[in-house]
């Protein structure tokens, strides 16, 4: 099992907005297990946590984002402008033991 942490450092005043957007967009996606916001440490941080059986499953999941299905079009519409809410981001992949 692997866990993915996708971290976004938001512009001031946008962390809760971005977290709410992610929570809404990823509601039906089983692989997304949590949307987190900071309580200590660096301010304005949002983290999306997801889990996959292995790296192959993670890569396979990315293939659906390349398709122009109705689901993906709806997601794209919901996510319009989200890049204006954050300054930087990163992705970390962890092996779960």
Q: Which helix (H) or strand (E) holds 86?
A: strand 86-95
Domain ranges of the chain: 2-95
pLDDT-derived band at 69 (thresholds 50, 70, 90) equals confident
Higher pLDDT pick, 14 / 72: 14
pLDDT in tens, 17-58: 999 999 999 988 899 999 999 999 889 999 999 999 999 999
CB 85 within 8 A of CB 17: yes
pLDDT-derived band at 71 (thresholds 50, 70, 90) equals confident
CATH number of 2-95: 3.30.70.100
Phi then psi for residue 32, to 5 deg, are -80, 115
């Amino acid at each position: 099992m692997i866990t993915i942490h996708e971290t976004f450092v938001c512009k001031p005043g946008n962390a809760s907005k971005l977290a709410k957007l992610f929570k809404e967009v990823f509601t039906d996606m089983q692989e997304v297990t949590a949307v987190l916001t900071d309580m200590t440490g660096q301010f304005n941080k949002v983290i999306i946590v997801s889990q996959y059986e292995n790296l192959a499953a993670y890569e396979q999941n990315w293939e659906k984002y390349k398709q122009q299905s109705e689901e993906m079009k709806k997601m794209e519409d919901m996510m319009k402008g989200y890049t204006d809410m954050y300054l930087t981001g990163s992705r970390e992949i962890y092996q779960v033991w």
